[in-house]
Chains A and B, each alone.
Chain A
Amino acid sequence: MRNILGKGLSSWGMMVLLLIVPLIFYYTGNAFYLDLATRLVILAIAAVGLNFVLGFGGLISFGHAAFLGLGAYAVGIPAYHEIYGGWDALASTNGFFHFGLAIGVGALFALVTGAISLKVKGVHFIMITMAFAQMIYYLVMSIEEYGGDDGLVIDMRSEFPLISLDDPIQFFLIAFASLALIMWLVHRMVNSRFGMVLRGSKGNESRMISIGYPTYRYRLVAYVISGAICGYAGALLGNFTAFISPEMMDWSRSGNLMFMVILGGVATIFGPVWGAIAFIVLEEILSGFTVYWHLPFGLMLVLVVMFSRGGISSLLRGKEDK
């Protein structure tokens, strides 16, 4: 666990490149790549949030796309009412309100579903988290006012003093700064006394109970924190795409987040970011060759899981540090 930050400079170098390369592309006339990088960074935030419970807590949640979707709707719905009226109490384009709502809704949904899901273990936990996510998916799809399964175009982005999310450079920088801040917070948390309890509960739950830890409570709090992080990522995603739809919460999206975490390396700080980069870059390259890109992509995932149990992070760390 000493190498929880990932060893060597490769991970720090990756962060620097992730910040600089998209900007270079943008200023050399390839604005598309800045967009791609922004989406990547937002998904990386969600993956970091998922990794907090999946990697460090051993809780395999298969429903984390629901938090992303809820965060996005927490931006879209107030903006919708601001423009088209109705629900005055909710109508707003204030960014602090949007993002606060996204975090709050993410945390609340995690609290309610986590309180139930964490009563069961293993495969049952996986299935129940997925079921809750699908419930939200169908619920949102059934609400005609917000576009049903067609989704909803967000005409106005969240408004903040001094900064504008309509500017792609500013948006990218904010997303990147959010990612760095959240990674730092997660790093602090997993090494804190709380983090030790969370990781200990993953390592040996009955031992933790017998030395006096009510593991359920600690896991629930971790799950709520994870939901809040993903809700925040969802608010960024809603602003970024300026379009929200139930499809954001589809179970396959939850699977994508799990791919990123496992591909990058569970229970590491930089792993989820590596995973998000690998995912987005592979998706981009492979889908350029063939519409059946999921097949080679799936094979690569199988290979990574088989030959490097710790994902990309452990490949980089080399063999001397298993």
Chain B
Amino acid sequence: MSAILQVQNLVKQYGGLTATDDLNLELIPGELHAIIGPNGAGKTTLVSQLSGFVTPTSGKILYKGKDITHQPPHTRAHMGIARTYQITSLILDMTVQENIALALQARDGHSFRFFKPARSVKRLQDGAMEILEKVGLAEKAQMKTSELSHGEHRNMELGVALAAHADLLLLDEPMAGLGPDETGKMIELLTSLKGDRTILLIEHDMDAVFALADRISVLVYGHVIATGTPSDIRNNEKVQHAYLGEE
């Protein structure tokens, strides 16, 4: 099976600091691949490089066999890569539905349409509602985004990524700051998405990671020290020493 995403010898240096150190990673289509690692292991830096906001110092990123290392972020979005942010990043002064509709609209090619009110484009509005139902926010569609709770924002983040109809979702700590109930719901939601698309999940919540992941890669100091199924990782000595053992 050919990989949907291949990361080859990726290096990112900030001055003397090496955030990503000769990183190799392959994602199989349809898998949920979790990346775990201690704080400062370079997880978010990796997501930023995969989505195009940070340019690697060296190395290659291949998506569906094409070299995208130097493609700008908006081009990668059109190719089918969507990301969520660890720190909620939504358009707060727009309604919930408008946020999702904008993400749907991005797939139209261009938005140089000056006259027809966006609100009357049925395809976008209905599509947004469909997604909001999926992430459990349909009732809040008309509310201003800034009025929603943190947990609801996390769900919206996921909704925006879903609206992009991406083949590859890069989820940067979707459970960050969620209470136990909300985390449970998010796990359910992610489970329902499994299989349809490839998901790269960065997460600190170990219960969530081991419940969800098909495979796990362990990142330490910007380098993947092990990749394998959850049980492989649990029993890996290097991993226990570097990471799990600390707890």
Contact = CB atoms under 8 A, between A and B. Distances in A.
Interface of A: 1, 188-189, 191-197, 199-200, 203-204, 206-214, 218, 221
Contacts of B113: 192-194
B106 A211 contact: yes
Nearest to B121: A193
Q: Which of A196, A197, A199, A209 has the most CB of B within 10 A?
A: A196
Nearest to B73: A209
Contacts of A196: 98, 101-102, 105, 111, 118
A209 B112 contact: no
Contacts of A200: 91, 94, 102
Contacts of B163: 211
Given A203-B92, A212-B78, A192 B115 contact: yes
A168 B90 CA distance: 50
B91 A204 contact: yes
Contact of B118 (A192, A204, A208): A192
A221 B113 CA distance: 12
Nearest to B144: A1
Interface string B117-131: 111010000000000
Interface of B: 51, 53, 72-74, 77-78, 82-83, 85, 89-95, 98, 101-103, 105-108, 111-119, 121, 160, 163-164
B95 A195 contact: no
B74 A213 contact: yes
Given A210-B82, A211-B164, A212-B164, A204 B114 contact: no
B62 to A, nearest CB: 20
Given A193-B116, A194-B114, A210 B51 contact: yes
8 nearest A-B pairs in the assembled complex, by CB-CB distance:
A212-B77, A203-B91, A212-B106, A193-B113, A191-B117, A193-B111, A211-B106, A196-B118
Contacts of A191: 117-119
A229 B237 CA distance: 68
Contacts of A197: 102, 105, 111
A192 B89 contact: no
A213 B107 CA distance: 9
18 contacts: A188-B114, A192-B118, A193-B116, A193-B118, A194-B113, A196-B102, A196-B111, A196-B118, A197-B111, A204-B89, A207-B91, A209-B72, A209-B73, A209-B74, A210-B73, A211-B82, A213-B74, A213-B111
B114 to A, nearest CB: 5
Contacts of B101: 196
Contacts of A212: 74, 77-78, 106-107, 164
A211 B111 CA distance: 13
B95 A1 contact: yes
Contacts of A211: 77, 82, 102-103, 106, 160, 163-164
A188 B119 CA distance: 11
Contacts of B105: 193, 196-197
Given A193-B121, A211-B103, A211-B160, A203 B116 contact: no
B117 to A, nearest CB: 5
A200 B107 CA distance: 15
A210 B90 contact: no
Nearest to A196: B118
B14 to A, nearest CB: 19
Contacts of A1: 93-95, 98
Nearest to A225: B114
A107 to B, nearest CB: 14
Q: Which of A193, A204, A208 has the most CB of B within 10 A?
A: A193
Nearest to B107: A212
B89 A207 contact: yes
B93 A203 contact: yes
